[in-house]
């Protein structure tokens, strides 16, 4: 998963997520092992307007949250930064 900028999450990085129908209820973002990926305010605002809950956690926690939400039947999408 290639992003516009290595340690920042932009809306264009989520193009495939935004084109999905039905839209996910939750987007889980893994921000890397040390949580270095920053989610830009434009992303937070856009997701809020679309009614998509954003969960951002270090990746070692985010994958657990993703699995829990998926198991609960939520429409969830995960985007995980696997390094730093």
What mean pLDDT comes out for the span 58-82? Answer: 96
Q: What is the pLDDT of residue 2?
A: 66
Report d(CA 1, CA 17) in Å as an integer: 12
Report d(CA 80, CA 7) in Å as an integer: 12
Report d(CA 60, CA 57) in Å as an integer: 8
Model confidence over 56-66: pLDDT tens digits? 999 999 999 99
Q: What is the pTM of this model?
A: 0.91
Task: Return the CATH fold of 8-81.
Answer: Hypothetical Protein Mth938; Chain: A, (3.40.1230)
Model confidence over 3-45: pLDDT tens digits? 777 789 999 999 988 888 999 999 999 999 999 999 999 999 9
Cβ atoms of 42 and 11 within 8 Å: the answer is: yes
């Amino acid at each position: 998963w290639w992003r516009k900028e290595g340690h920042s999450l932009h809306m264009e990085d989520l193009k495939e997520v935004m084109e999905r129908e039905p839209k996910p209820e939750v987007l889980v973002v893994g921000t890397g092992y040390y949580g270095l990926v920053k989610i830009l305010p434009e992303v937070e605002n856009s997701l809020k307007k679309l009614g998509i809950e954003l969960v951002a956690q270090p990746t070692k926690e985010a994958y657990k949250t993703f699995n829990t939400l998926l198991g609960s039947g939520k429409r969830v999408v995960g985007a995980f930064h696997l390094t730093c």
